[in-house]
Amino acid sequence: MKLYNIFYIDTTYGDKPSYECTTDNPTRWLLDHNKDRVADGNEPEYVDDFEVVETTLLIYNKESSNEVI
């Protein structure tokens, strides 16, 4: 499974990109994100407002691990 980190790009004030979330589906995330924004009375945002970076998930603490170090 591919995962993506999503960062908001602040073009108004020039702040560094801020982390929004990690998802397996950036397109679906943006649709849900905009649905919430519009419901709150805000304008929708566009894909160009975000930086989407593929990431890798590494899990070290598995609850059911029987591994001995």
Cα(60)–Cα(5) distance, integer angstroms: 20
Give the start-to-end residue ranges of the domains of the chain.
Answer: 3-55
Helices assigned H by DSSP within 2-67: 26-39
Which residues neighbour 19 within 8 Å (Cβ) at sequence distance 6 or greater?
5, 6, 7
**Per-residue confidence in pLDDT tens, the chain, 69 aa:** 899 999 999 988 889 999 999 999 999 999 999 999 999 999 999 999 999 999 999 988 877 656 655
- Are the beta carbons of 7 and 17 closer than 8 angstroms? yes
Element (H, E) at 6: strand 3-8
Structure tokens at 16: 């560094």
